[in-house]
Amino acid sequence: MKNVLYIGNALSNKGKTSTTIDTLSELLKDICSIKIASKKSNKLLRLLDMMRLVLMNVFKTDIVFIDTYSTFNFYYALIISQLCRFLNLKYVPILHGGNLEKRLKHNSKLSHLMFSNAYKLVAPSNFLKSVFERYGYNEVLFIPNSITIENYEFKERKIDTIELLWVRSFSSIYNPELALLVLEKLLKLNYNTSLTMVGPEVDGSLKKAKNLVKVKKLNVKFTGKLSKLEWIHLSKDSNVFINTTNFDNTPVSIIEAMALGLPIVSTNVGGMPFLISDGEEGILVPPNDIDAMVDEIIKLKTNEDLRLSLVNNARLKVENFDWNVVKRKWTTLLS
């Protein structure tokens, strides 16, 4: 069994949304011995903890996985990748975030240092795979985000009252304000509608959303961060899942909603058209288009055949993301 170090921000125990390192590291225990870093909240201590893990295990590590984002965390990945190079350790950046192309474009030299010297690159979407290939990185493996499909009970949901569900961190790139404006428009059109928003504060967007709710006198349920089991249980009372983001890759929350039988209406950005074929497994609309999202939600309510087709196709698609299927790809990478 191979010895793996997994470097990323394992901060779910600090009130942050669970990320790939939290979920994938547990699944990978099926096929390898794994150690992770870091759970430190302080950014400097987190980096030092990541470096410590690599240095202490240099002679008993076969490969290092590195979560790689477009945000400030890009620099963690860069530093750890160069430490691995110095120590002659194979490393694999796991690519996240629909805005990584910005790094390839504006930080091309630093990107080249990290990505061109990697053993392989792993992209959880064909969207990011295609982006990196356009920039000349051809050693990109598509390994999708996975779920344990048996944990997601498929439920058929008729839409009488429109019960909207939004699940994401409250960050400006995910545009939570659009969900509120969609709710307002549906109410103005005399549709009995509710909205539940699940996720923790990141950059002040939750505070802004709550202020907007007060100004517009909307009735919105803010749950804060919930565990996976909690939000899956909560989802039983919802019948439309909306995704309002301006940048995206292949969010696990969308995959989970597809598995649960929730019809999806999402902005058509980043990796979304690679995950959802418009009109087949969900509905895609232009970003920041309130009217388009409202129209499609109404269409789901009034066209039962469309809704049933979308949710059944979506469930079939995400069954291919079950861990028992996806782990074969990780096993091949580690062999």
Q: What is the DSSP string of 14-41?
A: GTPPP-HHHHHHHHHTTTEEEEEE---S
**Could you read off the pLDDT of 248-260 as tens digits, one per residue?**
878 889 999 999 9
Closest CA to 208 of 174, 231, 185, 160: 174
Q: Is the pLDDT of residue 15 over 80?
A: no
Contact by Cβ (8 Å): 167, 231: yes
Q: How confident is the model at residue 16 (pLDDT cuts 50, 70, 90)?
A: low
pLDDT reported for residue 71: 81
Tell me if domain 2-143 and domain 149-320 are identical in fold.
yes
**H-helix or E-strand spanning residue 5:** strand 2-7
CATH of domain 149-320: 3.40.50.2000
**H-helix or E-strand spanning residue 166:** strand 162-167
**Could you read off the pLDDT of 183-199 as tens digits, one per residue?**
999 999 999 999 999 99
pLDDT reported for residue 233: 92
pLDDT reported for residue 18: 65
Contact by Cβ (8 Å): 125, 274: yes
d(CA 229, CA 231) in angstroms, rounded, equals 6
SS3 of the chain: helix, strand, coil, percent, to 5: 50, 20, 30
Q: How confident is the model at residue 41 (pLDDT cuts 50, 70, 90)?
A: confident
Q: How confident is the model at residue 13 (pLDDT cuts 50, 70, 90)?
A: low
Contact by Cβ (8 Å): 179, 210: no
pLDDT reported for residue 17: 61
**Could you read off the pLDDT of 56-91 as tens digits, one per residue?**
999 999 999 999 988 888 999 999 999 999 999 999
CATH of domain 2-143: 3.40.50.2000
Give the residue-averaged pLDDT of 103-125: 94
Lowest mean pLDDT among 16-20, 23-27, 49-53, 310-314: 16-20
Residue with tokens 């669970």: 18
Angle between helices 20-28 and 323-334 (to 10 degrees): 80
Report the alpha-carbon angle 169-44-132, nearest 5.
Answer: 60
Average pLDDT, the chain: 93
d(CA 231, CA 49) in angstroms, rounded, equals 31
Residues 6+ apart with CB under 8 A from 274: 125, 126, 127, 250
Residues above pLDDT 70, as percent of the chain = 98
Is the preceding omega at residue 38 within 30 degrees of 0, hence cis? Answer: yes
Q: Is the pLDDT of residue 306 over 60?
A: yes
Tell the burial category of 272 from Cβ atoms under 10 Å away from its Cβ (0-12, 13-18, 19+). Answer: buried
Whole-Å CA distances, 331 to 28, 84, 126, 289: 9, 22, 19, 42
pLDDT reported for residue 163: 97
Lowest mean pLDDT among 94-98, 174-178, 284-288, 301-305: 94-98
Residue type, 304: E
d(CA 239, CA 53) in angstroms, rounded, equals 44
For the chain, the structural domain boundaries read: 2-143, 149-320
Give the residue-averaged pLDDT of 234-244: 96
Residue with tokens 């939750």: 206
Helices (H), 57-125: 73-86, 100-106, 108-115
Helices (H), 158-251: 176-188, 205-216, 228-234
pLDDT reported for residue 73: 87
Contact by Cβ (8 Å): 28, 330: yes
